[in-house]
Amino acid sequence: MTQSPSATARSRTLDAAQAALAAEHAAVYGYGVVGARVDEAHAALAREAYDAHRMRRDAMSRAVRDLGGAPEAAAAAYALPFPVSDPAAAVRLGAELESRVADVYADLVRAATGALRRDAAAALREAAVRAVRWSGGSVAFPGLVERAAAGGPTASPSGSPDRA
């Protein structure tokens, strides 16, 4: 038995919402590390980002429940992408966390509709702005350029994904 198109879309939306929730759990954990290592010049940004991700995490838990899912709990710990032993590494981690969060929200924007899509777009925008604040640079389409560089789907001139 195959799922109806609306059930398939709902399943994709739930999967994307769970991924966003998982990214928020990881970001909250990561900002604990950033806050412990960052210099005073970046301490306020770390606190602001930590609070923002806690609020987004709670909102994504509600969204998953609203979609009929059970929100996945946070892990006890998360593997960091690199050692964070000094303030410079903490700043790099802040930028990396925001880039990763932007990636999953780009997926949720694509999968969701209505208010959840608007919330996901706002979260994507906020993560992109924080990434710029941490790194000092930006990309044209946060959450998309990085995916193409990693071998993800690319868009053809018609806007539809290339099929091999």
* Separation in Å, CA 57 to CA 22, 50, 97, 140, 151: 8, 10, 14, 26, 28
Q: What are the pLDDT digits (tens) for 70-92? A: 999 999 999 999 999 999 999 99
State pTM to two decimals: 0.82
**All structural domains of the chain:** 7-148 (1.20.1260.10)
Q: How many CB atoms lie within 10 A of CB 13?
A: 22
Q: Which segments of the chain have a pLDDT < 70?
A: 1-5, 138-164
pLDDT at 147: 52
